[in-house]
Amino acid sequence: MTEVTDETFAAEVLASDLPVLVDFTASWCPPCRMIAPVLEDVARELAGQLRIVTLDVDHNPRTQAAYDVLSMPTLALFRAGEPVKSMVGARPKRKLLQELEGLY
């Protein structure tokens, strides 16, 4: 998974040809650490169909504020530069795949 910043967000997420799932995360967040391996599995499984990137909200406040992200982890799916779905909190892989079905 790629880590994006305020500076690289537009190029890596908004301009991506593939749909992008952004993991708004923080190092101090236990649920963020719980979902990290799930996201790595999903990234491998859906390679070529969906990109997954992480954004550390503590170091990238502009992007966090721009998308009104208040809780971590927040997973936001972007397609063609637009947010199409937002999910808050950790979840098992099966549930995440169900929630993303048909959106990428």
* Active-site choice (1, 18, 26, 29): 29
Distances in Å between the Cα of 65 and the Cα atoms of 6, 40, 44, 45, 104 are 11, 25, 29, 30, 25
How many Å separate Cα 17 from the centre of its chain? 16
CA distance 104 to 92: 19
29 counts as catalytic: yes
Is 75 in contact with 21 (CB distance < 8 Å)? Answer: yes
Structure tokens at 58: 């503590």
* Active-site choice (20, 21, 22, 32): 32
Residues with a catalytic annotation lie at 29, 32
